[in-house]
């Protein structure tokens, strides 16, 4: 198609020229990058193990009574001072020598009632509670064994996976698919503006074929989305969060973006006015995102597995998604003129 | 569940059945399991009760995830198969805030061992079991360690206030939608030139703006009431918390729809506004109970309401006053820029903002206007600096503290300098500053307004937020000690530089003023920290 390149360039330049849009993209990138960093930071904040590992927080426990709990506390990196009575321990706590007190009384009928004295400050006692959860659980398992109950799989260690899963199953797919959402919205604005300003009629009469114009516009939007995805990958890498299979991840993002943009193009050509198209588009996007959670293969879970470096997904899984895309592009190509000629 | 088949694991025959979509499970004998593990076909092999892993991250995360799943499964087995007195033998009674005064009494209690209140703790265990089974998150009750609570280690829930934050966010979503509807309707009237007809009618801009806004605000309030009734909260309290949020959201959308002409711009800025508002409101609320900086967001108050906790009037003021002020400011600016020429003109963001500032200034009383502008810039400056402060709390720091603080301070300083001088710069641009003497006078007015605003703000915020490094730094170096004179010097530097170089070089002038301001702050801060 001659002229396609010219339209692509023109559209890209017009988008770039409009400083506000570039600025908006920058703002969005900035804010979103902050929010992702904040969320990741928060997750590790709430992740008790990483608090123990990352923070220079050194806790000292006062333990009243003999029990294996002292050993479990030491294993968790908490210093232990033994006291004979709760009173002594409390004096030490008020003097600031220890951070909290675990007062144990001899088990009665297999039940151990323990008293935990925490500081008044909410934030501090929250951190303490999080840090001693693991030693307490170990002690609980010990008592269970004493009661004749065997708890299985206690030897498992591993690394806390919450942050890891959160990052790859939520943040990465979100970052990679969000630009697609914006591109779709942009195409609707751009096409419905042309229709509403009646400039589409002029374009249709020009020597450049209609599809060249449309494909140029869609191409520019897809291009912008992919640029954003690449920026995301770089930004994450700067935060030392690496996406595996980068090429495949970007390829999948490209396919989904193309699907969304061509789809939104069809929607705006059908409805012709901005408000209705945007509305239908938003509803469809939300429905599609929701439905894809139940789908298999779902682009979201495929994205997550690719980015994680899961060994059982590869180019073939990605290629599968080109089939619906090809169908959609064909429909777009064949139906564009008729759709636009139709009365709204 | 988002992650589907993200871990491939093998279990030995007779191993546990794993009912979690994250895991793709194969039953393998030992030889196959180890072979597949080494060829990276599986991430972990569970041989009887032990996990065999590779020495890489994926394998370790898989083990962590499996551990989490199996621990939960074991707890369920404990509940189902055994008597709770056997299977939940450890009950921890939490006693908080032992004051020194209480010590003697406690000593006497400790001398005679307390008889175990076994009936009491068993009922607590039963209650926590039923919560664990039914999902306590649906009840939105206090998850934090409250006074004298019984903890059962394996039934203990994470203290993340996520459920309440989600709940509070539930209020914000319809508000954002209302804001978008308001924005769309405003934009449509603007592009259809219906507003022009209204402008020629004998009504004031304030009438038009508030008249257009009122139905949407009213409907948002109705939504708040309905949601609160459904969720069983305190309606009056909820209204007091969410009214400023609603006004804040609408002020942003009002400005977006007044400043922008094309739908393209407007779509983008609406999106940027949504991310900004969501981030500003939701992220601090996640820190509820952990750090007092969370009080910059009114959602924190809502989270506390749903946790049955109370908050003081100063917390309420800190989180809501900036929002009320931003609303007032945007309403004022909105009425000033409400003329055909401004509404219909195109231009980049800085141009539109500059024009808006220029229109907001009363040219007959430049000194008072500039002073008030400095004063009312405070809530906006506060919000921006708070965002920087939150980031300082959360971004994992790997650089030296001093460098890190310096970067934060530099950002805050630039924000302040822009806020103080932007109004004067627009006056310069429009040739409304007759002499250098007048320029200095304006700089003094702006510095004075800003100074007063700062002190007022400090009065509220220092009582609530005191444990953030940056706040302390600002409090000790910038906000508290920087006297009026220093503000005046920095602002006049910026203004004079702008006058001499021309408005084109305004960013350069800001840079110059910021360097001075920064050096001053940094020296004082360094002295405070005993490093110079």
Same domain, B145 and B178: no
Please identify, among A146, A176, A193, the residue that sits at the C-terminal boundary of a domain: A146
pLDDT for B358: 83
Query: Hey, is the C-beta of A197 within 8 angstroms of any chain B C-beta?
Result: no
Q: Do A112 and B91 touch (CB under 8 A)?
A: yes
Residue A52, pLDDT score: 44
What does the pLDDT read at residue A251? 95
**Closest CA of chain B from A5, distance in Å:** 23
What distance in Å separates the CA atoms of residue B144 and residue A122, rounded to the nearest whole number? 9
**Per-residue pLDDT, A7:** 76
Band (A257; pLDDT cuts 50, 70, 90)? very high
Would you state the pLDDT for residue A132?
Answer: 86
Indicate whether A70 and A94 sit together in one domain: yes
> Which CATH number belongs to the domain containing residue A85 in this structure?
3.40.190.10
Residue A151 inside a domain? The answer is: no
Question: What is the pLDDT, as a whole number, of residue A50?
Answer: 45
Residue A228 contacts B, CB cutoff 8 Å: no
> Is the domain of A23 the same as that of A126?
no
Stronger pLDDT, B182 or A274, i.e. the higher one: B182
Burial class (CB in 10 A: 0-12, 13-18, 19+), B117: middle
Q: What angle do CA B273, B313, B464 make, to 5 degrees?
A: 75
Q: Are the C-beta atoms of residues A281 and A185 closer than 8 Å to each other?
A: yes
Residue B6: its chain A contacts at CB < 8 A? 165, 168-169, 301, 304-305, 308, 310
Of B81, B110, B143, which residue constitutes the final position of a domain?
A: B81
Maximum CA pair distance of chain A? 95
Residues A39 and A54 in one domain: no
* Interface test mutation site (partner A, options B1, B6, B91, max chain A beta carbons within 10 A): B6
Q: Which domain-ending residue is among B285, B316, B346?
A: B346
Most confident of A128-142, B284-298, B461-475: A128-142
For residues B457 and B406, state if they share a domain. yes
A274: closest CA of chain B, how far (Å): 9
Q: Are residues B226 and B153 in the same domain?
A: no
Share above pLDDT 90 across residues of chain B, in percent, rounded to a whole number:
13
Q: Identify whether residues B29 and B89 lie together within a single domain.
A: no
pLDDT of res. B293: 67
Say how far apart CA B338 and CA B331 lie, in whole Å. Answer: 10
- Assess if residue B111 is contained within a domain: no
The top-scoring range by mean pLDDT among B313-317, B328-332, B357-361 is B328-332
Based on the fold, state whether residues B131 and B206 are members of the same structural domain.
no
Residue A96 and residue A133 share a domain: yes
In this prediction the pTM is: 0.67
* Alpha helices in B337-365, H assignment, sequence order: 340-344, 349-360
Q: Specify if A64 maps to a domain.
A: yes
More confident residue, B386 or A123: B386
CA A343 to CA B12: how far, in whole Å?
A: 66
- Is residue B313 located within the same domain as residue B444? no
Residue B470 has pLDDT above 70, yes or no: no
pLDDT reading at A205 higher than 60: yes
Are B86 and A105 inside 8 Å of each other by CB? no
- B353 part of a folded domain: no
Look at residue B23 in the predicted model and tell me its pLDDT: 92
Kindly state whether A137 is in contact with chain B, defined as any CB-CB distance less than 8 angstroms. yes
For residue B302, being part of any structural domain is answered with yes
- pLDDT band for position A267 (cuts 50, 70, 90): very high
Closest CA to B43 of A68, A309, A206: A309
**Sign for the pseudo-dihedral over CA of B62, B68, B72, B77:** positive
Helical ranges in chain A per DSSP H: 4-17, 19-46, 48-54, 69-75, 86-94, 122-146, 162-166, 172-196, 199-205, 210-238, 246-271, 274-292, 299-308, 315-320, 322-341
Q: Which of A105, A123, A186 sits opposite B113 (nearest CB)?
A: A105
d(CA A100, CA A94): 10
CA pair distance B92, A132, nearest whole angstrom: 12
Q: Is the pLDDT of residue B476 over 50?
A: no
User: pLDDT band at residue A239, thresholds of 50, 70 and 90?
Assistant: low
Residues A78 and A172 in one domain: no
* Average pLDDT estimate for B6-22: 89
Given the structure tokens 């928060």, which residue do they identify?
Answer: A42
Given a cut of 70, is residue A47 above it in pLDDT? no
- Of residues A41 and A155, more confidence is placed in A155
Q: ∠B505-B510-B514 over CA atoms, to 5°?
A: 150
Extract the tokens encoding B383: 């919000």
In this predicted structure, the answer to whether residue B168 has a pLDDT above a threshold of 70 is yes
Top pLDDT among A313 and B268 is at A313
pLDDT in tens, B357-376: 888 887 778 888 888 888 88
Residue A176 lies in a domain: yes
B132: containing domain: 85-95+120-158
Please give the C-alpha separations between residue A215 and each of A258, A261, B118, in angstroms, as whole numbers: 11, 10, 74
Within 13 Å and on the Cβ side, how many CA atoms surround B210? 10
Is A34 in the same domain as A63?
A: no
Predicted pLDDT at B390: 60
Same domain, B273 and B391: no
Place of tokens 């966010």: B169
- State which of A111, A146, A181 marks the end of a domain: A146
Long-range contacts of residues B223-226, Cβ cutoff 8 Å, at least 24 apart: B223/B171, B223/B174, B223/B175, B223/B178, B224/B171
Q: Are residues B400 and B266 in the same domain?
A: no
Residue B529 has a pLDDT of 61
Residues A113 and B339: their CA atoms lie apart, in Å, by 73
Distances in Å between the alpha carbon of A121 and those of B96, B99, B145, B389?
A: 9, 12, 11, 22
A114-149 core/surface letters (b: 16 or more CB in 10 A; e: else): bbbbbbeebebbbbbbbbbbbbbbbbbbbbbeebeb
Beta carbon pairs, A and B, within 8 Å:
300
Same domain, A186 and A132: no
Quote the tokens at residue B225.
């009431």
Q: Are residues B167 and B281 in the same domain?
A: yes
Give the Cα separation of B41 and A263 in Å (integer). 37
**Is the CB of A286 inside 8 Å of chain B's CB atoms?**
no
Q: What percent of chain A has pLDDT over 70?
A: 84
- Same domain, yes or no, for B378 and B475? yes
Look at residue A238 and tell me if it is in a domain: yes
* B341 burial level (CB within 10 Å; 0-12, 13-18, 19+): exposed
pLDDT of residue B142 exceeding 70: no
Q: Are residues B391 and B482 in the same domain?
A: yes
Are the beta carbons of A87 and B116 separated by less than 8 Å? no
Q: Are A139 and B153 spatial neighbours (Cβ–Cβ below 8 Å)?
A: yes
Question: Which two three-digit tokens encode residue B69?
Answer: 């799943």
Q: Is residue A91 part of a domain?
A: yes
Residue A112 to residue B103, Cβ atoms within 8 A: no
Mean pLDDT computed over A221-250: 84
pLDDT digits (tens, 9 = 90+) for B395-413: 544 556 667 667 777 888 8
Mean pLDDT rounded to a whole number for chain B: 77
Check A144 against B265: CB less than 8 A apart: no
Same domain, B176 and B298: yes
B124 belongs to a structural domain: yes
Residue B461 has pLDDT above 70, yes or no: no
Number of domains in chain A: 2
pLDDT at position B118 is 44
For residue B467, give the chain A residue with the closest CA: A123
Residue A23 has pLDDT above 70, yes or no: no
Report pLDDT digits (tens) over B87-99: 888 888 888 775 4
Range of the domain at A239: 4-44+162-341
**Are A232 and A88 within one domain?**
no
Mutation target for A interface from B11, B56, B64, B188: give the one with most A CBs within 10 A.
B64
Q: Are strands A100-104 and A112-118 parallel, antiparallel or unpaired?
A: antiparallel
pLDDT at A129 over 70: yes
User: Do A166 and A259 fall within a single domain?
Assistant: yes
| Domain identity same for A65 and A123 | yes
Quick one: pLDDT at residue A17? 60
Q: Of B66, B92, B275, which is closest to A136 when you measure between CB atoms?
A: B92
Average of per-residue pLDDT across B102-106: 40
Least confident of A254-263, B32-41, B46-55, B479-488: B479-488
Would A157 be classed as within a structural domain? no
**Across the interface, do B85 and A109 touch by the CB < 8 Å criterion?**
yes
Q: How many domains does chain B have?
A: 4
Query: Looking at the domain assignment, is residue B106 inside a domain?
Result: no
In the listed set A120, A146, A172, which residue is the last one of a domain according to the structure?
Answer: A146
Report if residue B107 sits inside a domain.
Answer: no
Least confident interval from A4-8, B251-255, B455-459 = B455-459
Rounded mean pLDDT, B441-458: 81
- In this predicted structure, the answer to whether residue A248 has a pLDDT above a threshold of 90 is yes
For A167-187, the pLDDT digits (tens) are 788 778 888 888 888 788 888
- Are A129 and A253 found together in one domain? no
Residues A38 and A97 occupy one common structural domain: no
Q: How many CB atoms lie within 10 A of CB B312?
A: 11
Domain boundary among B81, B103, B131: B81
Could you tell me which chain A residue has the CA closest to the CA of B44? A158
SS3 content of chain B, % helix, strand, coil (to 5): 70, 5, 25
Angle at B217 between CA B214 and CA B219, to 5 degrees: 105
Please give the average per-residue pLDDT across A19-34, as a whole number: 54
Tell whether B152 is covered by a domain: yes
Per-residue pLDDT at A1 exceeds 70: no
Distance CA B310, CA B305 (A): 7
DSSP B187-247: HHHHHTTHHHHHHHSS--HHHHHHHHHHHHHHHHHHHHHHHHHHHT--HHHHHHHHHHHHH
Does some domain include residue B407?
yes
Q: What distance in Å separates the CA atoms of residue B430 and residue B424, rounded to the nearest whole number?
A: 10
């Amino acid at each position: 198609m001659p002229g396609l390149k010219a339209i692509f360039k023109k559209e890209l330049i017009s988008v770039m020229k409009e400083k506000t849009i570039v600025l908006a993209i920058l703002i969005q990138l900035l804010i979103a990058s902050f929010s992702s960093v904040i969320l990741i930071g928060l997750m590790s904040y709430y992740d008790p193990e990483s608090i123990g590992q990352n923070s220079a927080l050194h806790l000292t426990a006062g333990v009243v009574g003999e029990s294996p709990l002292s050993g479990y506390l030491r294993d968790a990196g908490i210093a232990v001072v033994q006291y004979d009575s709760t009173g002594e321990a409390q004096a030490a706590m008020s003097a600031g020598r220890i951070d909290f007190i675990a007062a144990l009384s001899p088990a009665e009928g297999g039940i151990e009632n323990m008293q935990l004295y925490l500081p008044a400050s909410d934030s501090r006692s929250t951190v303490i509670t999080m840090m001693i959860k693991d030693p307490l659980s170990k002690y609980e398992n010990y008592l269970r064994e004493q009661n004749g109950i065997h708890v299985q799989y206690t030897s498992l260690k591993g690394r806390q996976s919450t942050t890891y899963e959160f990052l790859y199953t939520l943040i990465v797919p979100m970052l990679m698919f969000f630009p697609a959402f914006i591109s779709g919205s942009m195409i609707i604005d751009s096409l419905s503006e042309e229709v509403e300003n009646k400039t589409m009629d002029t374009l249709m009469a020009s020597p450049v074929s209609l599809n060249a114009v449309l494909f140029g516009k869609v191409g520019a939007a897809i291009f912008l989305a992919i640029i954003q995805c690449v920026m995301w990958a770089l930004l994450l890498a700067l935060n030392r969060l690496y996406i595996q299979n980068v090429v495949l991840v970007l390829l999948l993002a490209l396919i989904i973006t193309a699907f969304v943009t061509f789809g939104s193009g069809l929607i705006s050509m059908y409805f012709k006015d901005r408000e209705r198209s945007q509305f239908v588009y938003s509803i469809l996007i939300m429905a599609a995102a929701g439905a894809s959670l139940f789908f298999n293969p779902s682009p979201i879970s495929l994205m997550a597995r690719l980015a994680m470096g899961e060994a059982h997904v590869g180019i073939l899984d990605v290629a599968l998604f080109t089939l619906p895309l090809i169908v959609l592009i064909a429909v777009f190509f064949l139906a564009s003129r008729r759709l636009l000629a139709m009365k709204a | 569940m988002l992650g589907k088949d993200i871990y491939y694991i093998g279990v030995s025959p007779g191993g546990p059945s794993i009912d979690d979509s994250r895991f793709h499970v194969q039953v393998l004998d030992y030889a196959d399991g180890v072979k597949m593990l080494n060829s990276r076909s599986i991430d972990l092999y569970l041989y009887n009760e032990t996990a065999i892993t590779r020495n890489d991250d994926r394998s370790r995360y898989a083990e962590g995830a499996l551990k989490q799943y199996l621990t939960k499964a074991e707890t369920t087995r404990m509940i189902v198969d055994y008597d709770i007195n056997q299977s939940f033998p450890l009950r921890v009674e939490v006693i908080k805030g032992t004051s020194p005064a209480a010590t003697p009494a406690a000593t006497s209690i400790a001398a005679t061992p307390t008889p175990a209140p076994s009936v009491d703790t068993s009922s607590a265990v039963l209650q926590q079991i039923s919560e664990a089974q039914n999902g306590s998150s649906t009840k939105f009750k206090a998850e934090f360690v409250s006074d004298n609570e019984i903890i059962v280690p394996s039934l203990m829930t994470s203290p993340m206030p996520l459920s309440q934050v989600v709940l509070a966010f539930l209020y914000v979503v319809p508000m954002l939608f209302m804001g978008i509807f308001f924005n769309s309707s405003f934009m449509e009237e603007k592009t259809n030139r219906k507003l022009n007809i209204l402008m020629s009618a004998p009504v004031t801009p304030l009438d038009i703006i508030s008249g257009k806004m009122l139905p949407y605000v009213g409907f948002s309030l109705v939504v708040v009431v309905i949601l609160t009734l459904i969720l069983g909260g305190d309606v009056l309290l909820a209204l007091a918390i969410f009214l400023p949020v609603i006004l804040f959201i609408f002020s942003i959308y009002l400005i977006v729809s007044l400043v922008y002409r094309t739908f393209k711009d407007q779509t983008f800025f609406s999106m940027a506004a949504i991310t900004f508002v969501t981030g500003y409101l939701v992220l601090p609320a996640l820190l509820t109970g952990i750090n007092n900086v969370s009080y910059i967001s009114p959602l924190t108050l809502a989270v506390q309401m749903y946790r049955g906790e109370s908050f003081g009037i100063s917390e309420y003021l800190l989180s809501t006053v900036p929002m009320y002020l931003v609303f007032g400011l945007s309403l004022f600016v909105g009425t000033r820029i409400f003329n055909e020429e401004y509404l219909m003109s195109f231009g980049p963001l800085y141009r539109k903002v500059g024009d808006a500032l220029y229109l907001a200034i009363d040219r007959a009383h430049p000194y008072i206007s500039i002073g008030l502008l400095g004063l009312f810039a405070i809530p906006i400056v506060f919000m921006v600096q708070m965002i920087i402060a939150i980031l300082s709390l959360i971004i994992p720091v790997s650089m030296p503290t001093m460098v890190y603080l310096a970067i934060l301070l530099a950002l805050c300083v630039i924000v302040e300098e822009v806020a103080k001088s932007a109004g004067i710069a627009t006056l310069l641009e429009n040739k409304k500053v007759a002499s250098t003497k007048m320029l200095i006078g304006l700089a003094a007015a702006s510095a004075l307004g800003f100074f007063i605003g700062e002190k007022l703000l400090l009065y509220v915020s220092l009582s609530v937020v005191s444990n953030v490094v940056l706040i302390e730094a600002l409090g000790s170096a910038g906000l508290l000690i920087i006297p009026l004179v220093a503000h005046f010097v920095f602002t006049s530097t910026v203004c004079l530089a702008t006058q001499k170089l021309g408005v084109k070089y305004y960013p350069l002038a800001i840079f110059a003023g910021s360097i001075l301001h920064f050096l001053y702050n940094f020296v004082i801060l360094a002295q405070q920290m005993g490093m110079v």
